[in-house]
């Protein structure tokens, strides 16, 4: 059978499994799945959108039998292109299996834990847990609006919550291909669901199990050591980063080298009391001292601590305003719908050559200018007074502890703070939340005057004092805009740059990364390697162990895209 004939036969088989309308082969319809949120794109033979876990399994069996590449994809919100094809140099056709129709979340142990199916989202998890007075393991970050639960686990994502660390579990259900090319289902959820893949997947999908079927093995459903790790402020290694071998375990950190059907995670009680403190200063050393004091001396760890530089404050205020208003007025659940509308508008606009690139962004930007100032007066006053802004959230007994500390600290140190009202606190966090998308909008609206975007996701050692970047003049002069924000307690920074026209962004990035290597920093910190960063040897070995035939998401971490990890010259 010729390749074309075998490809046609595979497409027909996939259609028989999930239905004709849920196998996409038209390039326009495939684009939302083949193009990354910010980075990476490529082609796929088909995009398959199954409705059940069993349909995923059946589609996987068909793909393995046809010897095609499979990319498991959830929300496709990553910033490093890790869940889309990248370029054309693959040795086999690619099938993308999108899991977003399978979004059920199941509660176990009185909502102290959850089981999230393949397409479940953090938005959905927040809503599911709210009536039970519980919170998720992670919160939505500025870089992953609409993110999936499983995608977070597969990429060890997040970590904004200081007490909880990155997304992690040792309890999951996944499919794996061995070195002989055989597909098998591995049930490490800790729930008795049957013996065959069909029984296991159907029973889980229909929640056909009892409390007696749920075991509690000595396996983690979260990174329960992180609170101690982040407190070690004198350690010369970062608190968290994607290459950290401590948190590479089966589905956790697999980056799509396994086909993950479900994960089991811990949840947390909603605090009885919480307070947001807004800190401003013109001296980064002030924030470094506060960070060390709170992490090493406080009885209570903060909930979060989100940093924002003044330039990023301005960019977020201007270019993140529309997203801010949508979430503030309509709620975060509307964001995925908004992004869907944007993709549709851009897809239609692309058919008209006279319309500008990213037409939806331009429309939304112009409309946002019609709305009055959306930020609280005290925040804007701090913007005028201070270069560095830090949003520190405390809970329960930590509220009084932080207030007493700040009152005393700012008697003798430069800067100041204020206690946010509930509205100010929500808007401060939301303002930081929309910062991640601001740089892209800024570049779109000023594309004639600016060059390429370049982003870095870096984790500095816990004992690093000079955390705020000061670039050498020969690098700095090539950059038009620098926008800094991040999770300061964890020493994880998101450093975003727009080059001057004609500047080679990759060359500049490599020079900046060299300075990070000299300082003992790790990168990426929480966005994973995707197709943008090299996977270090330990991470590459982990990938090869999980996927010896290199059939799931090949090329990740700039590794081989060829079967059995051969290099192209070996074909």
Binding residues: 74-78, 82-83, 141, 148, 158, 255, 260
Q: What distance in Å separates the CA atoms of residue 198 and residue 209, rounded to the nearest whole number?
A: 15
For the record, the structure tokens of 16 come out as 């028989």
For the record, the structure tokens of 303 come out as 């909930």
Q: What angle do CA 551, 251, 259 make, to 5 degrees?
A: 40
Strands 69-73 and 94-98: parallel
Query: Which residues have CB under 8 Å from 121's CB, separation 6+?
Result: 75, 103, 146, 147, 148, 149, 336
CB 505 within 8 A of CB 451: yes
CB 228 within 8 A of CB 462: no
Residue 263, CA atoms < 13 Å, CB-side half-sphere: 34
* Backbone phi, psi, residue 261, to 5°: -95, -35
CB 35 within 8 A of CB 84: yes
Query: Which residues have CB under 8 Å from 19's CB, separation 6+?
Result: none
Q: What distance in Å separates the CA atoms of residue 456 and residue 479, rounded to the nearest whole number?
A: 14
List residues forming the annotated binding site for FAD: 74-78, 82-83, 141, 148, 158, 255, 260
Query: Which residues have CB under 8 Å from 263's CB, separation 6+?
Result: 115, 116, 149, 150, 153, 169, 171, 172, 173, 251
CB 57 within 8 A of CB 185: yes
For the record, the structure tokens of 166 come out as 């990155």
């Amino acid at each position: 059978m010729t390749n074309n004939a075998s490809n046609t036969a595979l497409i027909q088989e996939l259609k028989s499994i999930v239905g004709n309308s849920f196998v996409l082969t038209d390039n326009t319809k495939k684009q939302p799945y083949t193009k990354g949120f910010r980075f990476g794109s490529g082609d796929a033979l088909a995009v398959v959108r199954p409705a059940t876990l069993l349909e995923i399994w059946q589609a996987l069996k068909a793909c393995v039998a046809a010897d095609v590449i499979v990319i498991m994809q959830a929300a496709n919100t990553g910033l490093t292109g890790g869940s889309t094809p990248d370029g054309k140099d693959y040795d086999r056709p690619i099938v993308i299996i999108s899991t977003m129709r399978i979004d059920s979340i199941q509660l176990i142990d009185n909502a102290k834990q959850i089981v999230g199916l393949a397409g479940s989202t953090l938005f959905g998890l927040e809503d599911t847990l709210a009536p039970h007075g519980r919170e998720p393991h992670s919160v939505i970050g500025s870089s992953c609006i609409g993110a999936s639960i499983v995608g977070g686990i597969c990429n060890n994502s997040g970590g904004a919550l200081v007490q909880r660390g990155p997304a992690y579990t040792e309890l999951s259900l996944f499919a794996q291909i061995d070195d002989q090319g055989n597909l098998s289902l591995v049930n490490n959820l800790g729930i008795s669901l049957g013996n065959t893949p069909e029984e296991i997947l159907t029973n889980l999908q229909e929640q056909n199990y009892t409390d007696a079927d749920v075991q509690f093995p000595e396996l983690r459903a979260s990174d329960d050591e992180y609170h101690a790790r982040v407190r070690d402020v004198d350690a010369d290694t970062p608190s968290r980063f994607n290459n950290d071998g401590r948190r590479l375990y089966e589905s956790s950190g697999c980056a799509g080298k396994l086909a993950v059907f479900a994960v089991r995670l811990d949840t947390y009680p909603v605090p009885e009391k919480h307070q947001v403190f807004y800190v401003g200063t013109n001296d980064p050393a002030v924030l470094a001292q506060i960070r060390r004091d709170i992490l090493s001396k406080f009885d209570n760890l903060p909930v979060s601590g989100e940093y924002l530089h003044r330039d990023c404050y301005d960019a977020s205020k201007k270019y993140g305003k529309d997203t801010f208003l949508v979430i503030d007025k309509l709620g975060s659940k509307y964001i995925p719908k908004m992004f869907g509308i944007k993709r549709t508008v851009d897809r239609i606009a692309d058919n008209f050559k006279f319309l500008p690139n990213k037409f939806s962004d331009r429309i939304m930007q112009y409309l946002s200018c019609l709305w009055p100032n959306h930020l609280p007066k005290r925040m804007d006053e701090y913007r005028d007074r201070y270069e560095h802004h830090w949003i520190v959230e405390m809970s329960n007994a930590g509220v009084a502890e932080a207030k007493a500390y700040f009152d005393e600290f700012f008697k003798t140190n430069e800067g100041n703070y204020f206690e946010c009202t509930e509205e100010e606190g929500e808007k401060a966090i939301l303002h930081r939340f929309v910062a991640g998308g601001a740089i892209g909008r800024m570049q779109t609206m000023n594309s004639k005057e600016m060059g390429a975007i370049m982003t870095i996701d870096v984790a500095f050692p816990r004992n690093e004092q000079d955390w705020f970047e000061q670039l050498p003049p020969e690098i700095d002069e090539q950059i038009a805009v620098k926008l800094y924000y991040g999770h300061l307690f964890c020493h994880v920074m998101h450093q975003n740059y727009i080059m001057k026209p004609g500047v080679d962004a990759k060359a500049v990035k490599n020079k900046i990364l060299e300075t990070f290597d000299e300082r003992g920093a790790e990168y990426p910190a929480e966005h994973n390697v995707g197709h943008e960063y090299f996977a270090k040897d330990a991470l590459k070995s982990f990938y090869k162990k999980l996927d010896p035939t290199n059939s799931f998401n090949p090329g990740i971490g700039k590794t081989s895209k060829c079967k059995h990890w051969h290099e192209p010259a070996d074909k």
